[in-house]
Amino acid sequence: MFRDAAMCAIVRGLLALTLALSVLANADVLKSAPPGISFKTPKATHPWTAIKVTNPTHNVQKLRSFRGSKTNSRSVAAILGAHQRQVGGFGYENITTTTAYGTQYATDVIWNGFRTMLLLDTGSSDTWVVQREFFCIDYAGQIVPQIACGFGPTYPGDFQYGPTNPEQHMFIQYGDGEVVTGPMGFSDITVGNITVARQEVCLANTTYWFGNNQTSGLMGLAFPSLTNAYLGTSEDHDPGNQLEYSPLFTSMVNQGKIPPLFSIAIDRNSSSGMLAWGGIPPATGIDHAKTATLDMIITNLIDQPATAYEYSFYTIIPDGWQYDQTTDLKKFPYIVDSGTTLCYLPPNVAEAINEAFQPAAVYLWMYGAYFTSCTAIVPQIAVVLNGIRFYLNPADLIYREMVDPLTGLCMTAIASGGSGPFILGDVFMQSALVVFDVGQAKMRFIPREFY
């Protein structure tokens, strides 16, 4: 029964969350969008945050990175295009979609006095931790030993303030096929120096999960329109029963704990990074004079009417891409997503950039990704944001841990996003301090030195 529900949810999710990513005539207007799909620029809600956005904050916590032999496409944002990249062949697995390994980032959280570590995801909105007595299932919905899901310490308690009333549950499908469900209730959640009182959260009791054996759940930092709460039993995920609620970051702002922004600085050559609430971290190697500021774009998603007038993903419209001496200024919307490892580009741009590797990268259909020599010379690649070139670190452009056993080739960090969505993942975020300035309805990017 769980398998049937999960598969229905997958199909519904792929239909309900398909973005129309059309070519832009300019930076403000998308043309040729299908009926019911649109993009628009919202208005600022807290103009005063522009003054504080460059101020370092004391509300900073460290991030920990976990690397594996696969790429990370755990985010809900990744599900939008995952079905286009699932093209497996005999004896192979699609490493861009089958598991959520690869570089993942997590941070410490105190959940009703219980210290745990949750993955960080700007491409989803729900926050949850796995319960001690949970069911781990496989793809077929069959119960398997808990160790197969790879969680860290499980949460031993219940909701601090009881379950929601009326009773409701969370059901979420991630981009790599993982499924998490469980009851919802209220508990105090502490991140950094900030305690969010009576936050609505989920205690996961059934999961299909590819864990790293250290983290115990996930913290979603996107907007209320992407929350996944439903009335009724855990088997009932009808869109008519879906309820929107205030996720963690939204509650933090509404309770007056911080100004409405947060920022992330990923340190690529260490096992850490920084997450700053209400400001920016004291990150090294940044040049404030080169800050690029772009509008957040509201994305109207099929069958999710709330997204027509509310934020959903952190979506921006770059100027284009530059690779070696070539500049492509066609404009498309991109989701800035910490829950996805690679950068997913329009197919023709991804192909052109991969051809610029020496030797040229080739597309291996059994993986749905591009591969080149593990010692290839990489092109100079930059995404252009508000006229500023943000160069991707050459060291991040070839994944030497991901080798095709037949050819001995290594996977590149630039992938085709099909018809969308297009994503700026961790490969990009490792080269910039990224400020999610919700109060100003802006995304701000500050280049970081390669080190």
> Which residues carry out catalysis?
121, 337
Q: What is the DSSP letter of 360?
A: P
Question: Strand locations in 192-269, DSSP E?
Answer: 194-208, 217-220, 229-231, 242-243, 261-266
Residues forming beta bridges with residue 399, ordered by sequence position: 411
Contacts of 26 (CB under 8 A, 6+ apart): 331
Separation CA 176–CA 197 (nearest Å):
32
Cis (ω within 30 of 0) for the bond into 359?
Answer: yes
Q: What is the C-alpha R_g of the chain? A: 21
272 alpha-carbon distance from chain centroid: 18
Name residue 103's amino acid. Answer: T
Separation CA 74–CA 83 (nearest Å):
13
Separation CA 446–CA 451 (nearest Å):
15
Strand duo 343-345 + 414-416: pairing: parallel
User: For residue 42, what are its two tokens?
Assistant: 């919202």
Question: Strand locations in 21-175, DSSP E?
Answer: 39-40, 60-66, 104-111, 114-121, 127-137, 143-144, 168-173
User: For residue 330, what are its two tokens?
Assistant: 């066609």
Contact of 407 with 371, CB cutoff 8 Å? yes
For CA atoms 279, 282, 283, 284, the dihedral sign is positive
Separation CA 332–CA 27 (nearest Å):
9
